[in-house]
Amino acid sequence: MSMKPRFVDPFTPNRPIDDPDRFFGRVDPVNEMIDSLFQIKNGNPKHTIVTGDRGVGKSSLLTQIYLTAVGNNSLTDRLKIDRGVEQYDYVTVWHDVDATQTAFDLSFAILGKFESSFKKFVSGFTLEIDVAGFGKLGRDKQNPLNITQLIEEFVQRIKKVSAAAEKNKKDGVLIFIDELDRIRQDSMISSFFKLTSERLAREDVKKVGFICAGITGAVQKLEEEHASILRTFRDVPLPRFEQEETAQILLDGFNKACHKCTMQNLPLKAQGVTVGLPEPIHLLGSEMLSVDSDGELDEVDFENAIKKIVTDVRRNKLASLLRLAGSGKYQKIIEAMANCSEKIVPLEFIAKSISQEQSQFSTNMATLVDREIIFKPAIGKYAFADPMLKEYIKINGVLALDE
């Protein structure tokens, strides 16, 4: 048996794109976010929140903006985007939210990161903002810190960070917050952002910006509870990729790995199973390269890659998603959606397939959205949150239908 030469897998389904040269498209969102960097540097704070579906590329975009903010010009040069300055030189922190965090936990974590990482931006400079003192404020569970005090204490410390940045001739201070959708609904986070940004402006601290990302539906949910987060932030929605872009990402990767692709219908087929989400696009590309044996990618490799994804690579994840959907009627709905030839399934189609009036299962649909099994791209239309679930069901079927 002849072995094909070893190569580096150009696809990274499990982590955000950090190499600016592997970051595909997104000229408009990048341009909009670079504008925020420019405005903040010039004392006109513009906070942004990147929103989109899971796996659409929010963390990747945030990573690219982060790199630009600390002086890496690769992406903006390649996209020919006017930075407005030769190079950015911000003091930054990055925080991934976790599900248990309140507004206090979030601000405590941010301050801690500034204190410990400031040296990285200005060597030999020690930033003192009494993070320990801030931490003590939140310790009394009987007597929780109220939001007014929290903002006061947080803003005074951020003011010091900003002054230290200014003193060291930095462009300003950026706070990157990813996975904002994970935050609890009672975390007070929307009020926190609104009040913090207002307070910073009033204190004349204008070179501090928040740059966040979160899943669309979950961010809207935060909206319902509290002050409008989308009024404080400029929303940068990230769309899924178009068919031709999907194909381009795959072909770029194949090319990088020195493989040929002979599939004429690659754009159509790939868009069908990935719905233009870069996460499954990378997964598909990676597995097509892995199942291929002759350096030439064809339809057999495509089918085998899908099979490998649903029976091996992602089997456990997809099986547990299917269980999470619920039993009985839920499985019927899921099965109907998987049988639809369209990726975005009209409610009427489901009603017809399961022989029920829409009103008889509309709460089930809402529950499936809540469980993040499906999402609602438009009124009366539904799609699988993980498009590979559809492929899984086509091969394995749904769970037993008896209630």
Ligand X SMILES: Nc1ncnc2c1ncn2[C@@H]1O[C@H](COP(=O)(O)OP(=O)(O)O)[C@@H](O)[C@H]1O
- Measure the CA–CA gap between 16 and 114, rounded to whole angstroms: 23
CB-side neighbour CA atoms (13 Å) of 396: 24
Please pick, from the candidates 59, 187, 197, 274, the single residue that binds Mg ion as defined by CB under 5 A: 59
Quick one: what does residue 23 bind among Mg ion, ligand X, none, with the CB cut-off 5 to 8 Å set by partner type? ligand X
- Measure the CA–CA gap between 187 and 281, rounded to whole angstroms: 34
Closer by beta carbon to ligand X, 60 or else 107: 60
- Say if residues 261 and 297 touch (Cβ distance below 8 Å): yes
- Look up tokens 């922190």; give the residue: 93
φ/ψ of 106, rounded to 5, equals: -60, -50
Quick one: what does residue 246 bind among ligand X, Mg ion, none, with the CB cut-off 5 to 8 Å set by partner type? none
Q: Which residues bind ligand X (CB under 6 A)?
A: 12-13, 16-17, 23-26, 52, 54-60, 249, 278-279, 282
DSSP track, 144-183: PPPHHHHHHHHHHHHHHHHHHHHHTT---EEEEEE-GGGS
Closer by beta carbon to ligand X, 159 or else 282: 282
- Measure the CA–CA gap between 80 and 28, rounded to whole angstroms: 12
Minimal distance, residue 333 CB to Mg ion, in Å: 28
Closer by beta carbon to ligand X, 250 or else 336: 250
Quick one: what does residue 57 bind among Mg ion, ligand X, none, with the CB cut-off 5 to 8 Å set by partner type? ligand X
Pairing between strand 173-178 and 381-384? unpaired
**Going along 216-285, which residue ranges are E strands?**
234-237, 260-261
Closer by beta carbon to Mg ion, 52 or else 209: 52
The two tokens of residue 130 are 């009494």
377 CB burial (10 A radius; 0-12, 13-18, 19+): middle
191 binds Mg ion, rule: CB under 5 A: no
Minimal distance, residue 273 CB to ligand X, in Å: 15
190 binds Mg ion, rule: CB under 5 A: no
Closer by beta carbon to Mg ion, 267 or else 276: 276
Stretch binding Mg ion (CB under 5 A), from 30-38, 59-67, 202-210, 338-346: 59-67
Closer by beta carbon to ligand X, 150 or else 374: 374
For helices 315-324 and 388-396, what crossing angle results, to 10°?
90
Stretch binding Mg ion (CB under 5 A), from 24-32, 56-64, 162-170, 270-278: 56-64
Stretch binding Mg ion (CB under 5 A), from 58-66, 71-79, 289-297, 314-322: 58-66
Minimal distance, residue 297 CB to ligand X, in Å: 18
Binding footprint of Mg ion on the chain (CB under 5 A): 59
